[in-house]
């Protein structure tokens, strides 16, 4: 068990896209269907990967900019509706994530999700992949008034799971995750299997490494 019996709970807060789930195939497909409505050629997944991490509106804006277009509010509304309808078509958990969540719960950790994805979409995909049950709170980009990298987004999750900053870690694949962590005085753990790049004191290459890394960080080893 992490921590000392009778002490306040410890928690791990996860980013969603690129950390828990590989949603790039569905995100890229939805973006390219949106571009196709304007007669534009599709973007490659590697290009779309570099656009992920700041929410749906920014993803659409970046995709349209890459094709010399400007996305309208109508484009965004259609994109969101289309993505919501296909959010679980191709998306899967990263190999090893379900077992890592089982292990973390067995260690006594309280778990939360801090994502810039809309909460309804986040819950839909987590439920479809049988991951929602592991989390005590899921705070999306439209749930709280602030979004990553604003540390108040992460702080809202910590409040929801009733865990103090000194007893929590933030796990993510994007610079925004690490900025939210540092701005909240929370230890950040960067995962290398996702879509982004970031500098962090702690890094893991496989989900199986998470339980030991989190224990090391929280116990100050």
Active-site annotation, residues: 15
CB count, 10 Å around CB of 218? 20
Of 145, 146, 135, 144, the residue nearest 171 (C-alpha): 135
Report the alpha-carbon distance of residue 6 to residue 28 in Å, rounded.
Answer: 46
Of 159, 178, 176, 127, the residue nearest 11 (C-alpha): 159
Report the alpha-carbon distance of residue 151 to residue 2 in Å, rounded.
Answer: 25
């Amino acid at each position: 068990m992490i921590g000392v019996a009778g002490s306040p709970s410890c928690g791990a807060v996860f980013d969603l896209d690129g950390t828990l789930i590989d949603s790039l195939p569905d995100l890229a497909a939805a973006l390219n269907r949106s571009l196709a409505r304007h007669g534009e050629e599709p973007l490659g997944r590697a290009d779309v990967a570099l656009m992920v991490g700041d929410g749906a509106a920014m993803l659409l804006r970046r995709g349209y900019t890459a094709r010399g277009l400007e996305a309208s509010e109508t484009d965004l509304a259609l994109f969101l509706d289309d993505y919501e309808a296909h959010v679980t078509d191709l998306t899967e958990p990263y190999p090893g994530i379900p077992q890592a969540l089982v292990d973390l719960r067995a260690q006594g950790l309280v778990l939360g999700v801090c994502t810039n994805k809309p909460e309804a979409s986040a819950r839909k995909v987590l439920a479809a992949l049988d991951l929602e049950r592991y989390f005590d709170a899921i705070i999306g980009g439209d749930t709280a008034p602030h979004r990553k990298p604003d540390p108040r987004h992460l702080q809202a999750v910590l409040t929801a799971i009733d865990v103090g900053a000194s007893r929590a870690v933030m796990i993510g694949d994007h610079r925004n995750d690490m900025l939210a962590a540092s701005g909240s005085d929370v230890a950040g753990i960067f995962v290398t299997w996702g879509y982004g790049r970031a500098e962090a004191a702690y890094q893991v290459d496989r989900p199986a490494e998470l339980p030991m890394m989190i224990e090391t960080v929280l116990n100050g080893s």
